[in-house]
Amino acid sequence: MAEPILRLEGLCKSYGGLDVTDHVDLEVAPSGVHAVIGPNGAGKTTLINQICGLVAPDAGRIVFAGHDVTHRPVHARARLGLARSFQITSILPAFSTLENVALAVQAHAGSSFRLFGRADREEVLNGPAYAALVEVGLGERAHVPAGSLSHGEKRALEIAIALAMDPKLLLLDEPMAGTGREETERLVHLLQGLKTRLPMVLVEHDMTAVFELADHVSVLIYGRILASGPPEAIRADRQVIAAYLGEGE
């Protein structure tokens, strides 16, 4: 197997005696979709937050693209090529849709300490940003304030922002949360197109979406990895069925 793009080694985090992340070891392959599933409160978002640097783990190591990033701040990890979408939509509502993405382009285009020149007229920033918007189907919404987008469009914008960072790995924290059937299908279709280009970690509740997209599935329960393997194996795993999938799904 090729060198993993992301490796978690013995990651632990507890809040007041409650182990939210309990000795998690995880390897994410440099291609394909790695889904992390688990019931509510299994510690999925906390895990994502530790990977991207918003939460500091109590113990363990996080290795991303060959660098030990355990103690690096959020922005440094992003610079190494780690992009994420947020479970609760996290965009800049007063900025235009295009500017939201252009800011992401600017992040890896460097030289953001440029004090002159109108950033909103820079074709080097707007070109790639517009391309990313077209890719997620928001081309026609480029110039409206991002705050006025529909919920599904905001989710798509999150993905466009992540794409524009030209990342090495994409962390998707429940991208389908709160979207309708039709929008979910559109997002699944979109991600299917992306997965050939970009490895992804997908945290998701929608099991249909997970099994449509994932190449590898890890099951997180009470902060621990219960099982990890190809989707078919997970679907057949008795332990998983008992603990999770069996819950009336």
Partner 1 sequence: MPLLLFIALAVVPPLASMAGQAHVTGLFARGMIFALAALGLDLLVGYGALVSFGHAAFVGLGAYTVAILGAHGIHDAAVVVPVAVVAAAAFAAATGAISLRTRGVYFIMITLAFGQMAFFTASSLAPYGGDDGLTVSTRTTLFGYAPLGRDVALYYVIFAVLACAYGLMRFLVASRFGRVFRAAKENPVRVAALGFDVYRFQLAAYMVSGVVGALAGVLLANATEFVSPAYMSWRRSGELIIMVLLGGMGSLHGAIIGALAFLLLEEWLAGVTEHWKIIFGPLLVVVVLFARGGLVGIGAALARRWWRG
List residues near partner 1 by CB under 8 A. Answer: 52, 54, 73-76, 78-79, 83-84, 86, 90-95, 99, 102-104, 106-108, 111-120, 122, 125, 161, 165
Nearest distance, CB of residue 109 and partner 1, angstroms: 9
Q: Which is nearer to partner 1, 90 or 148 (CB)?
A: 90
Q: Which is nearer to partner 1, 118 or 181 (CB)?
A: 118
Whole-angstrom CA distances from 246 to 34, 108, 236, 239, 240 are 22, 44, 11, 10, 8
Q: How far apart are CA 242 and CA 39, in angstroms?
A: 12
Nearest distance, CB of residue 51 and partner 1, angstroms: 11
Q: Which is nearer to partner 1, 107 or 131 (CB)?
A: 107
* 38 CB-near residues (< 8 Å, 6+ apart): 44, 219, 220, 221, 244
Q: Which is nearer to partner 1, 71 or 114 (CB)?
A: 114
Q: Which is nearer to partner 1, 81 or 229 (CB)?
A: 81
Helix axes 123-135, 97-109, angle to 10 degrees: 120
Nearest distance, CB of residue 100 and partner 1, angstroms: 9
Nearest distance, CB of residue 113 and partner 1, angstroms: 6
How far is it between the farthest Cα atoms of the chain? Answer: 62
Q: How far apart are CA 237 and CA 61, in angstroms?
A: 28
Nearest distance, CB of residue 82 and partner 1, angstroms: 9
Q: Which is nearer to partner 1, 157 or 243 (CB)?
A: 157
Q: Which is nearer to partner 1, 165 or 226 (CB)?
A: 165
Q: Which residue has the tokens 């940003």?
A: 129
Nearest distance, CB of residue 239 and partner 1, angstroms: 34
Nearest distance, CB of residue 135 and partner 1, angstroms: 18
- % helix, strand, coil for the chain, step of 5: 40, 25, 35
Question: Could you tell me if 105 and 155 are in contact, meaning their C-beta atoms sit under 8 angstroms apart?
Answer: no
Question: Could you tell me if 196 and 190 are in contact, meaning their C-beta atoms sit under 8 angstroms apart?
Answer: no
Query: Which tokens go with 48?
Result: 């994502």
Closest by Cα among 178, 132, 186, 180 to 158: 132
